[in-house]
A = this chain, B = another copy of it.
Amino acid sequence: MKSSVEKVFLDYMHDNGLSMTPQRKLIVETFLETEGHFSAETLWSIVRERVSDVGQATVYRTLKILVDSGLADCFDLGDGVSLYEHAYGHEHHDHLVCMQCGAKVEIFDQTIENRQEEVAGRFGFELTRHRMYLFGLCPKCQKEKA
């Protein structure tokens, strides 16, 4: 039986007149098997461990499809590198990032979400989405520093 994620992807492909190719299949599978937050470059290197002649551009192009189809979420921490993570079946969340080691924790706080709506409403804005990144030092790096 086809997994629910694959169905969503194939439906998106079909609905938009896109074709399935061995490269895309490989990239999507690799994406789904890779946990955490990673760059296109990183995903490319993992893909190439399996099949050596997949082009970098194809990885970028496929990641765009993954984002558009709702399977991936793309964000960047302000350093010019886009990071990707699984979006299908994952609730919305923000990130807590260690500035020392780069560790990332997914966070969610309903109070913050509510206040965001409320603040936006105060200015008559209709809120669509938001991004929030908290930067600091993780427990481990605090110890190492002391």
Contacts and interface: CB of A to CB of B under 8 A. Distances in A.
Interface string A104-118: 010101011001101
Given A105-B123, A109-B119, A112-B116, A128 B132 contact: no
B125 A134 contact: yes
Contacts of A111: 111, 115
Copies in the complex: 2
Given A78-B76, A96-B119, A115-B109, A135 B139 contact: no
Contacts of A125: 96, 98, 105, 134, 136-139
A128 B100 CA distance: 11
* A contact residues, range: 35 or more
A142 to B, nearest CB: 6
A133 B75 CA distance: 12
A99 interface: yes
A96 B139 CA distance: 32
Interface of A: 75-76, 78, 80, 96, 98-99, 105, 107, 109, 111-112, 115-116, 118-120, 123-139, 142
23 contacts: A76-B78, A78-B131, A107-B119, A109-B115, A111-B111, A111-B115, A116-B132, A119-B134, A120-B136, A123-B138, A124-B138, A124-B139, A125-B134, A125-B139, A126-B136, A126-B137, A127-B134, A128-B135, A128-B136, A130-B134, A131-B131, A131-B132, A131-B135
